[in-house]
Structure 1
Amino acid sequence: MGRATDSLEAVPALAADGSGRIDLDRLTRQEILDLRSLAAENPELIEVAIDAFGENDARRLYTHHVVDQVLRHRGGGGRVVLQQRWEAA
Structure 2
Amino acid sequence: MVLEDLTREQVRDWRVRAMKDHQVVFDHIDTYGEPSARRLFSNQLVDQAQRLAGLGHLDLGYTTWGQAR
Gaps of 5+ in 2: 59-69
- Quick one: percent identity of the two aligned structures? 36
Considering only aligned residues, what root-mean-square deviation do their CA atoms show, in Å? 1.7
TM-score by structure 1 length? 0.59
Select 2:47's aligned residue among 68, 71, 82.
68
Which residue of 2 is the match for residue 31 of structure 1?
Answer: 10
Residue from 7, 12, 32 that aligns with 1:53 = 32
What is the TM-score with the length of structure 2 in the denominator?
Answer: 0.75
Richer in helix (by share) = 2
State how far apart, in whole Å, the 2-side matches of 1:36 and 1:65 are.
11
In structure 1, stretches of 5+ residues that fail to align are 1-13, 15-22, 80-89
Q: SS in structure 1 opposite 2:11?
A: helix
